[in-house]
Structure 1
């Protein structure tokens, strides 16, 4: 179970880092032209950059505290925050009729729930 949680956290961290770097550094016009990125056309550039930074911080929070052994409780807290972020993403894509991207967000949400449950319950870092 511990290995599965590490893998899940690594996968989710990679997703968060990729999305964060994209939102923080790719111009808004390019993001809006990509399939599933249409929602960025109505978002402010500042909001997109902020969201990108939040996602990059999530990538760090899902792995680094546990690797360093410093405040490992940040890992499940970050996973819970990711759940909230995915609920927002699901609402955004749902309003746009983008069921495929809602489904992708559901998968990311499920991975985050697994991490939060596992690290707050049976496989805490202090246990």
Structure 2
């Protein structure tokens, strides 16, 4: 007599529904994060630095190379969140790495904005961190 463990047995209707909902929620979070970080990164790559200083107060104190580098990292990581759309097997490691990187960046920026007493920006980065950490946790299973 063989016994099946939880990982090898077929999912019941409720478990399948729960897994589908979790998958949709994670894809929604990945889409939101991708849109936000690609847009923010694109702005950092293309806007003049004096305009960026109005949008991102920290960019006025940073070198142009650093600001552009952060923008490039944000665009690449944002796109990597969508890598599984091309291939789940090949896209999963970039997805997990990008989500972890963006979570770390959001946490660092929450601290930077907190030191500058920018409550709205802190809240935004806490939300971004929470979304990215949820994606890391949900997709690493």
TM-score calculated relative to the size of structure 1:
0.89
> 5 Å matches for 1:10-89?
10-34=31-55, 37-64=56-83, 66-69=84-87, 70-89=90-109
The offset of 1:74, in angstroms, is: 1.7
Runs of 4+ in structure 1 over 2 Å off: none
In 2, distance between residues paired with 1:118 and 1:76?
Answer: 10
TM-score calculated relative to the size of structure 2:
0.80
The offset of 1:73, in angstroms, is: 2.2
Show structure 1 runs of 5+ residues with no match: 122-127
Q: Say what the alpha-carbon RMSD is for the aligned residues.
A: 1.0
Show structure 2 runs of 5+ residues with no match: 1-21
Structure whose alpha-carbon radius of gyration is higher: 2
